[in-house]
């Protein structure tokens, strides 16, 4: 495999690799850090899925980069393609930094808000979809969630023996099953919200930070319209951040203020409703509670930690929702 990659880098990109290091990250790709003979570093993504889908994601990344969003530059092959055909992969500039998986704190809140506002302002111009206002119940079809949770609950109940994580996931699924009606009510009570092209997977592993700045936004999904309130919640209410303590509430307000400064056309309703959409969406999701049933090989210690944090975050958001929304409205009042 390494010989094939080195050959493709040389013949398709003109990059002579001196070192290739596997990076233990990524779910749909196999990733390598490449050090060229001239010392320049690259990031190689090897694909094992739908190449046209990956091509669309790369093109969205380039569209965002053209709007001054900090994303890595993709290197095209010598034939001008964004994906190498010899070994299905793409090649990117290497970005120094760390992911936001340690949580967002301090001055990083404002930096993330600025970049997120710039990202959404740019993607509102994408030709694939014009921004529209739609009922918030479209964030998640909660009516389908009971069946999904019942399947998980029954799946664990049918097993003769459960390991500790499976036992916990079973209990968590039953607890969340009992909160689905509240999740539906939360969405039904929200105003119409903005739907447009978004990043699609803007969680902390896909946000690169360097000191107190955003170094890069990575791993875009193909262009698809989603609620921007949902995408704001994905990073602003990320479990890894919420579990650090209550500082996330004021931090999220700082993020939203910086977002509005960068994207003045944004609706306040979308910003204030971000916590509610994140809460309802998470309550109604069986991921990763269902992973021991659906994909046992994906259950790792880190996934177990994330599952517990995601569950606790959903409960925290539910408990604090009225207070947080009121505080956000106060901070986001229109300027006089």
Asked if pLDDT for residue 26 goes beyond 70, the answer is no
Residue 138 confidence (pLDDT): 97
Residue 275 confidence (pLDDT): 98
Percent of the chain with pLDDT over 90: 94
Residue 27 confidence (pLDDT): 66
Residue 49 confidence (pLDDT): 76
Q: Which CATH number fits domain 100-331: 3.90.1200.10, 1.10.630.10, 3.40.50.2000, 3.40.50.300?
A: 3.90.1200.10
Decide if domain 2-94 falls under CATH 3.30.200.20.
yes
Q: Chain-wide mean pLDDT for the chain?
A: 95
Residue 112 confidence (pLDDT): 98
Q: What is the pLDDT of residues 29-71, one digit of tens each?
A: 899 999 999 999 999 999 987 889 999 999 999 999 999 999 9
Residue 24 confidence (pLDDT): 81
Q: Domain map of the chain by residue range?
A: 2-94, 100-331
| Rounded mean pLDDT, 128-153 | 97
| Rounded mean pLDDT, 89-93 | 97
Asked if pLDDT for residue 25 goes beyond 80, the answer is no
| Rounded mean pLDDT, 129-137 | 98
Residue 17 confidence (pLDDT): 94
Query: Cβ of 83: how many Cβ atoms within 10 Å?
Result: 20
Residue 333 confidence (pLDDT): 83
Residue 336 confidence (pLDDT): 52
pLDDT band at 335 (very low <50, low <70, confident <90, very high): low
Q: What is the pLDDT of residues 171-202, one digit of tens each?
A: 999 999 999 999 999 999 999 999 999 999 99
């Amino acid at each position: 495999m390494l010989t094939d990659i080195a050959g493709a880098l040389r013949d398709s990109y003109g990059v002579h690799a001196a070192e290739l290091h596997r990076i233990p990250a990524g779910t749909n790709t196999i990733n390598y850090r490449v050090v060229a003979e001239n010392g320049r570093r690259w990031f190689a993504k090897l694909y094992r899925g739908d190449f046209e889908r990956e091509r669309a994601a790369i093109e969205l990344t380039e569209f965002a980069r053209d709007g001054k969003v900090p994303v890595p530059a993709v290197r095209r092959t010598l034939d001008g393609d964004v994906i190498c055909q010899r070994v299905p992969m793409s090649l990117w500039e290497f970005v120094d930094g760390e992911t936001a998986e340690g949580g967002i704190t301090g001055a990083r809140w404002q930096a993330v808000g600025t970049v997120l506002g710039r990202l959404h302002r740019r993607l509102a111009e994408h030709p694939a979809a014009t921004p529209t206002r739609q009922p918030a119940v479209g964030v998640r079809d909660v009516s389908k969630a009971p069946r999904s949770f019942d399947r998980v609950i029954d799946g664990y109940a049918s097993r003769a023996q459960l390991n500790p994580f499976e036992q916990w996931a079973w209990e968590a699924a039953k607890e969340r099953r009992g909160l689905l009606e509240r999740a539906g009510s939360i969405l039904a009570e929200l105003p119409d919200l903005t739907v447009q092209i978004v990043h699609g997977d803007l969680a902390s592993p896909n946000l690169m930070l360097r000191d107190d700045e955003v170094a890069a936004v990575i791993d875009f999904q193909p262009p698809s319209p989603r609620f921007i309130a949902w995408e704001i919640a994905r990073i602003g209410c990320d479990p890894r951040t919420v579990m650090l303590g209550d500082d996330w509430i004021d931090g999220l307000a700082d993020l939203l203020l910086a977002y509005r400064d960068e994207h003045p056309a944004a609706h306040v309703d979308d910003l204030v409703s971000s916590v509610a959409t994140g809460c309802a969406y998470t309550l109604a999701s069986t991921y990763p509670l269902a992973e021991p049933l659906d994909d046992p090989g994906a259950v790792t210690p880190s996934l177990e930690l994330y599952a517990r944090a995601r569950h606790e975050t959903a409960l925290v958001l539910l408990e604090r929702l009225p207070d947080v929304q009121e505080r956000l409205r106060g901070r986001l009042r229109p300027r006089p």
